[in-house]
C-alpha cells in the first residue's frame, strides 16, 4: 500500500492519476499483468502513446515493468506495484489537538458471545469461539478481534488542563461484521457509546473475505474474514457524525466532559439492533489499513496557559 501522509509528497502520483488513459491502464492491471502490446491493443492506442503513459505511472511508483523472454522474443510486462493507495488529508499540524493510537487489544472491559476470537500477527490466542481468552494477557498484541455479540470498551486518555474544554472527539477504526467464516452481505449495526451514552451506530454491510487483506500474514486462512472498512466517527457541539453523515443529535455537551473526566469508548453489537451481525475490529498489521484505534481530541483554550497546572 502507498500511504501518502504529506499531500505535497504525493504530487507526482496525483499528476499521474489526472489522465483518463492512465486510469484505464491501472484498471487493466488490477488483477493481472499485461504486456505493452496487449494494453495498446485493448485501448486502441499506439505503442508509443502507451509507453509514454506507462513511464509516468512507473516514475511515481504505481506500476513496475519487467522484461520477460518468450518464444517470440522479449516482452515488457507491466504490473501494479501497489494495490492500495491511501491519502491522509490532514497534512498540516493543528493547534489545540492531541492524538493517541490505542492497540485494539488494550480494551478495559468486554462482553463476548461466540463466534469470537483474537489473533496476533503471528498466531491465534487460545482457541476460536472461547470467550475466556479475551482475558489472556497476550490480548494486548491482538491485530484482529471478532465477536457475534457483545462489546469492547476502551479508556481514552484525558490530557486537558483546567483552562481547556472539549470541542470535538474523533475516533477511527477498521470495522466489519462477524459471520461464521465470512459473508460479504451480512449487515450489522455497530453502536458507539461514550461514557455509557449511545451516540449512534453504523451498519456494516458485511464480513468481507473474498479478497485477502493487504496487511494479513501469509498463514491467515483465506476462508476467514480478511478486512473491514475504515470509519471516522465524530462528536462535537453540533451532533454525532460518521464519515460526515449525522448519526444522532447527541452533542459533546450532552456527555458532560471536563478536564477531570474519565472517558470510555464502547463498540457494541447487541439487542435491540435490527441487524445483529457481529463485530470485527482490525489492528495496524491486519486488514487493509495500517492503524489501530485512532483517537483525536480537539479542545478550546480559555485565558492564559498556566504552566503550574
Mean pLDDT is lowest, of 7-16, 131-140, 227-236, for: 7-16
Sign of the Cα pseudo-torsion (114, 115, 120, 124, in order): positive
Note whether 185 and 74 are same-domain residues. Answer: no
Q: pLDDT per residue over 83-141, tens digit each?
A: 777 777 665 557 899 999 999 999 999 999 999 999 999 999 999 999 999 999 999 99
With cell 478536564, the residue in question is 259
Q: CB count, 10 Å around CB of 62?
A: 22
Note whether 146 and 257 are same-domain residues. Answer: yes
pLDDT of residue 159: 98
Q: Which of 27, 56, 85 corresponds to the end of one domain?
A: 85
Q: Which of 85, 105, 120 corresponds to the end of one domain?
A: 85
Domain for residue 222, yes or no?
yes
Tell me which residue of 74, 49, 54, 62 sits closest to 10, measured CA to CA: 62
258 half-sphere exposure, CB direction, 13 A CA radius: 4
Cα–Cα distance, 33 to 73 (Å, whole number): 18
Q: pLDDT per residue over 163-216, tens digit each?
A: 999 999 999 999 999 999 999 999 999 999 999 999 999 999 999 999 999 899
Note whether 229 and 186 are same-domain residues. Answer: yes
Burial of residue 127 (number of CB atoms within 10 Å: 0-12, 13-18, 19+) = exposed
pLDDT level of residue 307 (50, 70, 90 thresholds): very low
Note whether 105 and 245 are same-domain residues. Answer: yes
Size of the chain, expressed as the number of residues it contains: 309
Which CATH number belongs to the domain containing residue 220 in this structure?
Answer: 2.60.120.260
**With contact defined as beta carbons under 8 Å apart, do 36 and 47 qualify?**
yes
Domain for residue 306, yes or no?
no
C-alpha 31, offset from chain centre: 22
Q: pLDDT per residue over 246-277, tens digit each?
A: 999 999 999 999 999 999 999 999 877 789 99
Domain for residue 308, yes or no?
no
Tell me which residue of 112, 241, 111, 222 sits closest to 170, measured CA to CA: 241
pTM, 2 dp: 0.75
The domain tally of the chain equals 2
Domain that holds residue 102: 93-301
**Cis peptide bond prior to 115, omega within 30° of 0:** yes
- The alpha helices in the chain, defined as continuous H runs, are 11-16, 20-28, 36-43, 47-59, 252-255
Element (H, E) at 266: strand 263-269
196 half-sphere exposure, CB direction, 13 A CA radius: 2
**With contact defined as beta carbons under 8 Å apart, do 19 and 43 qualify?**
no
Which CATH number belongs to the domain containing residue 14 in this structure?
Answer: 1.10.10.10
C-alpha 198, offset from chain centre: 22
Q: Which of 60, 85, 110 corresponds to the end of one domain?
A: 85
Note whether 67 and 103 are same-domain residues. Answer: no
> CA distances (Å), 184 to each of 67, 145, 180, 228, 243, in order?
38, 18, 11, 11, 21
Note whether 60 and 190 are same-domain residues. Answer: no
pLDDT of residue 151: 98
Q: Which three cell numbers stand for residue 212?
A: 485477502
C-alpha 10, offset from chain centre: 20
Domain for residue 309, yes or no?
no
- The alpha helices in 141-246, defined as continuous H runs, are none
Amino acid at each position: 500500500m502507498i500511504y501518502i501522509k504529506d499531500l505535497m509528497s504525493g504530487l507526482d502520483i496525483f499528476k499521474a492519476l489526472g489522465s483518463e488513459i492512465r486510469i484505464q491502464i491501472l484498471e487493466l492491471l488490477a488483477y493481472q499483468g499485461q504486456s505493452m502490446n496487449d494494453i495498446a491493443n485493448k485501448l486502441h492506442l499506439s505503442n508509443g502513446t502507451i509507453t509514454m503513459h506507462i513511464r509516468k505511472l512507473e516514475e511515481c511508483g504505481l506500476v513496475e515493468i519487467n522484461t520477460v523472454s518468450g518464444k517470440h522474443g522479449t516482452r515488457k510486462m507491466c504490473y501494479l506495484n501497489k494495490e492500495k493507495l491511501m491519502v491522509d488529508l490532514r497534512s498540516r499540524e493543528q493547534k489545540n489537538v492531541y492524538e493517541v493510537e490505542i492497540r485494539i487489544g488494550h480494551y478495559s472491559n468486554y462482553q463476548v458471545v461466540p463466534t469470537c476470537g483474537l489473533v496476533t500477527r503471528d498466531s491465534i490466542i487460545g482457541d476460536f469461539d472461547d470467550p475466556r481468552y479475551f482475558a489472556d494477557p497476550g490480548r494486548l498484541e491482538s491485530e484482529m478481534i471478532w465477536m457475534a455479540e457483545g462489546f469492547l470498551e476502551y479508556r481514552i486518555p484525558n490530557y486537558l488542563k483546567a483552562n481547556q474544554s472539549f470541542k470535538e472527539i474523533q475516533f477511527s477504526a477498521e470495522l466489519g461484521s462477524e459471520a461464521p467464516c465470512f459473508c460479504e452481505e451480512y449487515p450489522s449495526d455497530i453502536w458507539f457509546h461514550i461514557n455509557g451514552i449511545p451516540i449512534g451506530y453504523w451498519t456494516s454491510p458485511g464480513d468481507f473475505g473474498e479478497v485477502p487483506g493487504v496487511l494479513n500474514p501469509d498463514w491467515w486462512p483465506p476462508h476467514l474474514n480478511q478486512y473491514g472498512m475504515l470509519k471516522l466517527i465524530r462528536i462535537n457541539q453540533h451532533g454525532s457524525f460518521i464519515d460526515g453523515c449525522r448519526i444522532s443529535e447527541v452533542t459533546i455537551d450532552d456527555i458532560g466532559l471536563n478536564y477531570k473526566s474519565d472517558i470510555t469508548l464502547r463498540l457494541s453489537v447487541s439487542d435491540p439492533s435490527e441487524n445483529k451481525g457481529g463485530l470485527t475490529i482490525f489492528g495496524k498489521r491486519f486488514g487493509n489499513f495500517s492503524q489501530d484505534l485512532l483517537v483525536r481530541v480537539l479542545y478550546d483554550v480559555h485565558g492564559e496557559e498556566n504552566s503550574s497546572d
